[in-house]
Structure 1
Amino acid sequence: MPSRGQVGEPAESMLEDLDAAALAYAERLDGATPAEAEASRERLIRFCLPFAGRLARRYRGRGEHLEDLEQVARLGLVKSIDRYDPERGSFTAYAVITISGELKRHFRDRTWGVHVPRRVQDLSLEVGHASMLLTGTLARNPTTGELADRLGVSEEAVREAVESAAGYSPASLNAPVAEDGAMEFGDLLGGLDTELESVTDKLTVTDLLLRMPARERRMLAMRFYGNRTQAEIAEELGISQMHVSRLLSRALTWLREAMLSDNPPHWEGESRAGRPGMQVAVTREGGALAVRVRGEVDRDTAERLRVGLRHAINGAGVRSVLVDLTAVPLVDAAGVSVLLDAVQTAAAARVEFGVTGAQPYVARILAVSGLAGVLRRA
């Protein structure tokens, strides 16, 4: 077997030694037993270890321990020996390609602190090598354009590679920034999140909004998220602006009370069963019916009142119907329409119809709507 090459030998002598040793190894494999083949393989590996070490030392100074690089180079050496085919050319050339490929793959896949695309990793290494060469030639740091011209890439690609190089060895958050080590780099990043304390309140409000009627939720969303005016909300919902103002005020008052209470208060104007909170009670004395209404008469409740009044007016033996609005805080356009319908139904059935107990605001609404004639004093 040829003698092992020394570090100071000419490159040509080393190439000849490696190629001769590999050819001799390939010849010994013919007709050798498994044990003999394994022994020959081990001898060739030991003979080539200095060569792998020299290739590994080419990559030192890049942030990796030399011992780790030597292990990677030896792994590449073993692969090149196991895959060596004498008929395909020089063993030395094949070993150089295989070992260098393993070393480059190690730097590309194992040593980056932050994941960077493979093409950018490769270009970053090329930019670093070209920058070193141009610095020695120009006696100054090369410009981006000069690096791009040397590598045959665009300036944007060079800038991307330079920026990505910072991901190779990112700074540690635990690195000390003071001589006494009392402060670390991570202490300088971030700050107090003033919004963190409001997370619980936001979750509570979200839960409370889901307990409100759909109309009120929609109005709050239009007002505070859609930045709509009360007039715009009223036009879209088909109610008066004053009604919108009152509903918004009631919803916000309920939210404030619910936020300060462990048990949310009952929603005003809504029954326990969750239906709209208007209640109608009918009492009869002979042929006279007294219809007592409680709650708001609006688009959500008007149809129920319309049906109730028609049944009351068309009842057998009914001579008069008196609607008591004492407990009604608001009547919107839909409520006015119900009362006008009741007046017409009563006239057709020859039944006396009247409204009593209307609060001042409700009385004004009814008066301007043509119902002044049915208003009765309590």
Structure 2
Amino acid sequence: MRRVSQRQSRLSSAQAAELQRAYRSDGDLAARERLIEAYLPLARSLAHRFADRGEQVEDLVQVGSIGLIKAVDRFEPARGDLAAFAVATIVGEIRRHLRDKGTLIRVPRRQQETTMRLGHARRRLTRRLQRAPTHLELVAAGEITTSELAEAARVSDARSPLALMDDAPALSADDVFHASEDRVAVSTGMRALHRRERQALRCRYYDDMSQTEVAAALGISQTHASRLLASGLAKLRANLDGNSDSSVSSELDSGHGDSRRRPGRAA
């Protein structure tokens, strides 16, 4: 995670802590406004990191500012450093915005039909094999052609359930949380977890934070964050094992312990 400079925040850690205490304890709205104003340069700086994603920078700055306000309102001084918590919250807000905006991109009808055919083919072969098929198996079974697989790959982004890797099962642990067909099962499984495990998983997968950012957002060590993520995923996988119609459990088996980020993502 990028280190927050004094120039970006214009407040020392002690000053920020004092303002936060005034806001949290006394309801001092002037202290809240001072914190937001002081950390706005940080929100702008973080927004510029995502300037190559096809969004107007000023729009990203607005989204980052919303994340900053959430950080100031949610932060508890006992968690440690407000700046670290703000970075994690701002980045999570921007990433969620970009992810959600991505679903609004218009895809040509022919490509939509190809993607739907691939989904139907995958489900048919999954029922036949009693496991998620590889792409080689999909082609060999005559369910879809290699050119159609390539077309589906172009349509899907890095978070799609159709993100293709040679001869690999369909979904990664990251993608599980964005697969619409599995959201109900995942939501039910999440409710059975401890509160801190749910918080860690939501930060990591829904808010798209790195493990370092999860630790900062929850005010815990990276080691503790790693344990929460591992235990939460293990329990979630166990909760999903009884759902024979869901492919989530087998995919968690293949990816739950991997905390590596996709290329180009800050740790």
> Under a length normalisation based on structure 2, what TM-score does the superposition of the two structures give?
0.38
Structure number with higher strand proportion: 1
Larger Rg: 1
Which structure's residues are more often helix, by fraction? 2
Tell me the TM-score normalised to structure 1 length.
Answer: 0.28
